C-alpha cells in the first residue's frame, strides 16, 4: 500500500480529523498530544495559524508515525507545496482549486477540496480528489450528504464545520467517511485544559464507531 493510501485508510478507519486553529506552535503541540491520546487519526493545521508552516514542520518531526499531520485552509498550489515540504501528509482546501489538486496528485498526497454542490463534488472527483470536504457543514446538515450520495454513491465526503458530539452520529449514518471538527473539540485549549480535548476526542471516536455499526 502506498503512503497516500495508508494516510487515507488511517483517516477513514478512525473517522476523526481535528482542525487546529492554535495561537502558536506550543498550543498546537499540546492539542495534538491531547488528540493523539483520544484516538484521533489526524490533525489539520490551518494556514490561518500564525507561522503555520513552522508549526507543521515541528509537529511532523515530533509526532512522526504517531498521528497524521496535514495542512488546512490551503488556497493555492504554492502554499500546498510549502506545506508538503514541511512535512504535511495531506492537504485540505475550503474550495476546489484545480492547481492544488494537480500538485497533490503529482506528489501522490491526499487532497480534500471543499465543495457544497453536486457539481462541485463531481468536478473534484474528476480531478482526482479521494475525499471531498463538505464545507461549510453547518450550512447544510447531515441530510446534504444523503442528497449528494443519492446520485453519487461513490463520493467520499467529509463534513467540516458544525460537527459536534451531538450530531456526529447523524453525519456518519448519513454516509460521511470521516468528519472534521475544530472549535467544538479544541475550545478548552484557550484555558489550558487539554484533558477535556482528550476526553472529547475519545467520545468522538467512540460515537463514530457506534454509528458505523448501527
Does the annotation count 33 as an active-site position? no
CA distance 34 to 29: 9
Sign of CA dihedral 128, 130, 134, 136: negative
CA distance 145 to 157: 7
- φ, ψ for residue 185 (rounded to 5)? -105, -35
Q: Which three cell numbers stand for residue 102?
A: 494537480
Active-site entry in 44, 57, 58, 89 = 44
Place of cell 478548552: 188
Active-site entry in 4, 27, 89, 133 = 133
Q: Which three cell numbers stand for residue 47?
A: 494556514
Does the annotation count 190 as an active-site position? no
Tell me 165's DSSP state: T
Are the C-beta atoms of residues 111 and 105 closer than 8 Å to each other?
yes
Positions marked active-site: 44, 133
Amino acid at each position: 500500500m502506498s503512503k497516500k493510501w495508508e494516510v487515507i485508510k488511517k483517516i477513514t478507519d478512525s473517522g476523526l480529523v481535528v482542525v487546529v486553529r492554535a495561537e502558536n506552535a506550543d498550543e498546537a503541540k499540546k492539542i495534538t498530544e491531547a488528540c493523539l491520546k483520544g484516538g484521533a487519526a489526524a490533525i489539520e493545521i490551518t494556514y490561518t495559524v500564525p507561522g503555520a508552516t513552522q508549526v507543521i514542520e515541528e509537529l511532523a518531526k515530533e509526532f512522526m508515525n504517531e498521528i497524521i499531520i496535514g495542512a488546512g485552509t490551503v488556497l493555492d498550489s504554492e502554499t500546498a507545496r510549502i506545506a508538503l515540504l514541511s512535512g504535511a501528509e495531506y492537504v485540505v482546501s475550503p474550495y476546489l482549486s484545480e492547481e492544488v489538486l494537480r500538485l497533490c496528485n503529482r506528489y501522490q498526497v491526499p487532497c480534500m477540496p471543499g465543495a457544497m454542490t453536486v457539481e462541485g463534488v463531481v468536478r473534484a472527483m474528476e480531478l482526482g480528489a479521494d475525499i471531498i470536504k463538505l464545507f461549510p457543514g453547518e450550512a447544510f446538515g447531515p441530510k446534504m450528504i444523503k442528497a449528494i450520495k443519492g446520485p453519487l454513491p461513490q463520493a467520499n465526503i467529509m463534513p467540516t464545520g458544525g460537527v459536534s458530539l451531538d450530531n456526529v452520529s447523524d453525519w456518519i449514518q448519513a454516509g460521511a467517511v470521516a468528519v472534521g471538527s475544530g472549535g467544538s473539540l479544541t475550545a478548552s485549549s484557550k484555558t489550558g485544559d487539554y484533558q477535556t480535548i482528550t476526553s472529547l476526542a475519545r467520545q468522538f471516536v467512540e460515537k463514530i464507531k457506534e454509528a458505523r455499526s448501527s
